[in-house]
Amino acid sequence: IDGLCGIIQEQMNLNPFEKYLFVFCSSSRSKLKIIYWDDSGFVLWYKRLEKEKFQWPSHLEEDCLYVETEKIKSFLIGLDPWQEPHKKLKYSQT
């Protein structure tokens, strides 16, 4: 936990005590750690996939990526939240 908090503070320039989920993915994309502060201590959530890989973005323009809660849920069940959604179509006639 201390190592992850150090990364959050020193490399990401963020405060680990903020109300964020900080998500870290291993280079093999099979392990995931989520750390957050719950007002009484840090909580560390860890998941290791046995056969699949997490759909982690292959290239980030910044060190941090801000993601909505719904995308995190999709990500955790194996969907690719970084994929663009289908384009909305509007027709005036059928």
Tens digit of each residue's pLDDT, the chain (94 residues): 999 999 999 999 999 999 998 988 888 889 989 999 999 999 999 989 889 888 777 766 666 777 777 777 877 877 776 676 667 878 888 7
3-state secondary structure of 25: strand
Residues in contact with 76: Cβ distance below 8 Å, sequence separation at least 6, in sequence order: 32, 47
The radius of gyration computed from the CA coordinates of the chain, to the nearest angstrom, equals 16
Tokens of 2: 């201390």
Per-residue model confidence (pLDDT) at position 60: 67
CA end-to-end distance (rounded Å), the chain: 57
Percentages of the chain per state (helix, strand, coil), in multiples of 5: 20, 20, 60
pTM score, two decimals?
Answer: 0.75
Give residue 93's Cα distance to chain centre: 41
